[in-house]
Amino acid sequence: MSELGDFLRAKRAAASVDALPFPASGRRRVPGLRRDEVALLAGVSVDYYTRLEQGRERNPSAQVLDALAHALDLNLHERRYAYGLAQIAWVPELAETDPPVDATLTRLMDGWPGAACFVLDPLLDIVAMNALATALFRPFVSTRNLVEMVFLDPEGRAFYVDWERAAKGCVANLRATSGLYAGTARRRELLDRLTGGSPYFAELWAAHDVEPKTHDQKVLRHPEAGEFAIAFDAFEVSAMPGHQLVVYRAEPASASERALRMLSKDEVASPVGDSALAG
């Protein structure tokens, strides 16, 4: 026996016969689907599927696992679990368009009015922002993709005080988050736009630096709020595999925090910055 075989057997027993795309035949002594029905749905032989359940076959391919997940109607977390049992790296599907952001996550971001929060997909497309993040990124023509904002929007060089450091970090982060999707049309189209529009991006991309961003400090320059320092943290979103929640925060009770909060209230009257930055 194997854990993967036990898992498949349990999920087969829990599967609904009513979901079969073909007529079910014969009486059933136990609930769920028969092995031959799962094998037919997954496009594998009955003998192969039986060996998987019995633990005599322990190395299914990713394609076979995907087919079995579809046949057994596994949810996202069950699919990831099955991949783990088979010791295969699970790659979440990269949709042509990003799915809607979970309402719970949106409420969480809106519940932090003093922090600029946004959600990035594996290609660093911005798929959701709270009010403060929207105000923070207002100077950019488009907020479709963070890398395009850094390299293709003229505002990028003004917005990031240490633009070169931000640019290098952004490219290394894109390599880290998008590597699983090498060869996909969306990734290829993004890279074509970036390399065609920025020779410096092409140079950095050719260096093959890989470093995911989890925590860092930045100094930003906003045309309404002036210069201010922020710390940012990035967190994986378990409900949206491959996505990250990014949170920009300023030091409490600092001039930077006041500048950030003023943006959300549209009360900026003149540039504000930390005295340390002015020096």
Q: Is 93 helix (H, G, I), strand (E, B) or coil?
A: coil
Note down the domain range covering 255: 103-278
Is the domain of 46 the same as that of 124?
no
Task: Give CA angle at 227 (218, 106), nearest 5°.
Answer: 60
Record the pTM. Answer: 0.76
Is the separation of the CB atoms in 167 and 147 below 8 Å?
Answer: no
Cross-strand bridge partners of residue 32:
none
pLDDT at 43 over 80: yes
Is the domain of 125 the same as that of 218?
yes
Domain with residue 184: its CATH number is 3.30.450.180
Identify whether 91 is part of a domain.
Answer: no
pLDDT band at 117 (very low <50, low <70, confident <90, very high): very high
Tell me how many domains the chain contains: 2
- Rounded Cα distance, 126 and 71, in Å: 33
Lowest-pLDDT choice from 40-44, 96-100, 172-176? 96-100
Output phi, psi for 125, to 5 deg. -70, 135
Task: Give pLDDT tens digits for 126-171.
Answer: 999 999 999 999 999 999 999 999 999 999 999 999 999 999 999 9
Question: Average pLDDT for residues 3-22, to the nearest whole number?
Answer: 84
**Residue 175 backbone zone (phi > 0: left; psi -120 to 50: alpha; other: beta):** alpha
Question: Average pLDDT for residues 37-54, to the nearest whole number?
Answer: 93
By the 10 Å C-beta count (0-12 exposed, 13-18 middle, 19+ buried), 116 is classed as: buried
More confident call, 279 vs 54: 54
pLDDT at 268 over 50: no
Backbone Cα Rg of the chain = 24
Output phi, psi for 264, to 5 deg. -70, -25
Give kind and range of the element (H or E) at residue 260: helix 255-265
How many beta carbons lie within 10 A of that of residue 71, not counting itself?
24
Identify whether 90 is part of a domain.
Answer: no
- Rounded Cα distance, 119 and 122, in Å: 10
Identify whether 42 is part of a domain.
Answer: yes
